[in-house]
């Protein structure tokens, strides 16, 4: 594959162009599914585009580790991080950055809460926030508005903040920090669009703001425990000892960021899919029993997380290719979710698709910790939407965020008529 194609595969702008990126993924799945990729500005890596290969690597957590290189960063960013003398690493160490045994111990701190009773306790609060979103839609009275800004970005933010215990008045700050942190490639969101060294400096500043906010929150919960996730984290005991400040603040920061933009992207992208496939919208309205499978299809269709990286700890034979110890491996989830070896007619948006073994949440030991919460949010929201909405229409060109890590929408102009 040419350098130009390698550059496209890492380009935030290309990831925001669904037709281009999926044409590239389809070609790679067909001709070179385990592909040595050498973009000009990035260290080389193996690009994995097939569902089966991504699953195989994701489940081998002892061979393919997270701690060395988690996401695609330009050489300039990596150099800036190095020059800072490990400042970045000292400021941000989440479960996603860890390997076993630390990963097991730190994930255990919240896993039980996320997988069951903790999330269930918030069902009523999530439903109330979904109704509030629909009330807000009603205020536009069928006139055009930006669904991304007014609805999709706010609902998941409010859910995750109420779960973490962040008060409403601090939520605009959180929204700005998460959008800038993830959208740092996009000039419209405050990024320089080029990911040069300065950009790394800006990320440090954002992290510092998260860090200060959450360190204060942890101190408060240790002093006065409450019935919230912030307390579960502040009082967590990995290896039967207290959590360090770095790990505590990083835990809050990863939940605030990972729990918001991803779900917002599916809330907006799911509506866009319904706008583009009116037969599916009619089907959903006629039979709300299809909400669960519709949400799974929206997750597959949107695949907001574009990639994660692993590093091979030893030589590994993947199909016909030997991945050498030390090589980086990029798992391109949106590509896995269009693989025709697994999905019949993968470019068709089908709310009744079964089975739907999508990899939007990843797979294996690092599989998304918040997936039950994300599913609860998306099904609760869609239930309220289907019950109260009568008519949906596009009202302008959608604009996607330029990002090669977590995608989403800058704008999604729509007209929505509610049931009277």
What is the Cα–Cα distance from 191 to 180, expressed in whole angstroms? Answer: 7
Tell me the two tokens of residue 95. 């479960």
Are 373 and 113 in contact by the 8 Å Cβ rule? The answer is no
Query: Could you tell me which of 248, 184, 238 has the C-alpha nearest to residue 210?
Result: 248
DSSP reduced 3-state for 105: helix
- Candidate residues 363, 381, 385, 409; the one interacting with ligand HEM per rule CB under 6 A: 363
Q: Would you call the peptide bond into 355 cis, given omega within 30 degrees of 0 as the criterion? A: yes
* Residue 329 near ligand HEM by CB under 6 A: no
Please report whether residue 308 would count as binding ligand HEM according to CB under 6 A.
yes
Site map (CB under 6 A) of ligand HEM, residues 4-33, x = contact: ------------------------------
330 binding ligand HEM? (CB under 6 A): no
Of the pair 59, 226, the CB lying nearest ligand HEM is at 59
User: In whole angstroms, how close is the CB of 331 to ligand HEM at the nearest point?
Assistant: 7
Tell me, rounded to whole angstroms, the distance of Cα 57 from its chain centroid: 19
| Alpha helices, H only, 154-290 | 154-164, 171-182, 197-223, 229-234, 245-258, 261-276, 278-286
154, HSE (Cβ side, Cα atoms, 13 Å): 16
* Interface residue with ligand HEM, options 144, 193, 364, 417 (CB under 6 A): 364
Quote the CA–CA distance of 215 and 183 in Å, as a whole number: 24
Which region, judged by CB under 6 A, interacts with ligand HEM, from 11-19, 35-43, 341-349, 363-371?
A: 363-371
Shortest Å distance, C-beta 368 to ligand HEM: 3
Complete DSSP assignment for 6-41: HHHHH-HHHHT-HHHHHHHHHHHHHH-SEEEE--TT
**What Rg, from alpha-carbon coordinates, does the chain have?**
21
Q: Which of 160, 234, 268, 392 binds ligand HEM (CB under 6 A)?
A: 160
Q: Does 232 bind ligand HEM (CB under 6 A)?
A: no
Q: According to the binding rule CB under 6 A, does residue 376 interact with ligand HEM?
A: no
374 touches ligand HEM (CB under 6 A): yes
Alpha helices in 93-144 (DSSP H): 102-115, 117-120, 123-138
Going by C-alpha positions, the residue among 252, 250, 257, 228 that lies closest to residue 157 is 257
Contact characters 182-221, ligand HEM, x per CB under 6 A: ----------------------------------------
The secondary structure of 353-405 as a DSSP string is -SS----TT--GGGS-TTHHHHHHHHHHHHHHHHHHEEEEEE-S--EE---SS
Residue with Cβ nearer ligand HEM (80 or 97): 97
Of the candidate residues 8, 11, 133, 263, the single one contacting ligand HEM (CB under 6 A): 263
Residue 361 Cβ, how far from ligand HEM at the closest point, in Å?
Answer: 5
The footprint of ligand HEM on residues 83-112 (CB under 6 A) is 95-96, 107
367 in contact with ligand HEM (CB under 6 A):
yes
- Contact between 64 and ligand HEM (CB under 6 A)? no
Q: Residues interacting with ligand HEM, by CB under 6 A?
A: 58, 95-96, 107, 160, 254-255, 258-259, 262-263, 266, 299, 304-305, 308, 333, 360-364, 366-370, 373-374
């Amino acid at each position: 594959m040419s350098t130009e194609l390698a550059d496209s595969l890492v380009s935030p702008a290309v990831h925001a162009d669904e037709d281009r990126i999926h044409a590239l993924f389809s070609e790679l799945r067909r001709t070179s599914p385990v592909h040595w990729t050498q973009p000009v500005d990035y260290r080389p890596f193996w690009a994995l585009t097939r569902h089966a290969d991504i699953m195989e690597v994701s489940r081998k957590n002892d061979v393919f580790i997270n701690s060395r290189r988690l996401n695609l960063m330009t050489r300039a960013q990596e150099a800036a991080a190095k020059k800072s003398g490990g400042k970045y690493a000292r400021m941000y160490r989440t479960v996603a950055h860890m390997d076993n045994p630390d990963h097991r111990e730190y994930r255990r701190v919240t896993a039980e809460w996320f997988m069951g009773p903790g999330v269930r306790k918030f069902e009523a609060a999530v439903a109330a926030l979904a109704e509030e979103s629909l009330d807000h839609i009603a205020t536009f009275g069928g006139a055009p508005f930006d669904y991304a800004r007014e609805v999709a970005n706010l609902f998941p933010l409010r859910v995750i903040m109420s779960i973490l215990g962040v008060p409403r008045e601090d939520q605009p700050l959180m929204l700005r920090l998460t959008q800038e942190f993830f959208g740092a490639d996009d000039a419209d969101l405050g990024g320089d669009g080029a990911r040069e060294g300065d950009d790394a400096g800006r990320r440090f500043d954002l992290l510092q703001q998260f860090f200060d906010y959450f360190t204060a929150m942890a101190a408060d919960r240790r002093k006065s425990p409450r019935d919230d996730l912030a307390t579960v984290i502040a009082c967590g005991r990995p290896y039967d000892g207290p959590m360090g400040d770095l790990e505590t603040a990083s835990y809050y920061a990863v939940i605030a960021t990972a729990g918001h933009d991803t779900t917002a992207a599916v809330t907006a992208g799911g509506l866009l899919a319904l706008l583009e496939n009116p037969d599916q919208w009619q089907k959903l309205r006629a039979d709300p029993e299809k909400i669960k499978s519709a949400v799974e299809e929206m997750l597959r269709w949107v695949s907001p997380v574009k990639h994660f990286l692993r590093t091979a700890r030893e030589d590994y034979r993947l199909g016909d290719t030997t991945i050498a110890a030390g090589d980086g491996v990029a798992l391109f989830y949106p590509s896995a979710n269009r693989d025709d070896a697994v999905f019949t007619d993968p470019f068709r948006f089908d709310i009744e698709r079964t089975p739907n073994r999508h990899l939007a949440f990843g797979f294996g030991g690092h599989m998304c910790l918040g997936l039950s919460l994300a599913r609860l949010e998306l099904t609760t929201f869609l239930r309220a939407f289907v019950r109260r909405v009568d008519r949906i229409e596009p009202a302008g060109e959608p604009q996607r965020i330029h990002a090669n890590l977590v995608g989403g929408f800058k704008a999604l102009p729509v007209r929505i008529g509610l049931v009277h």
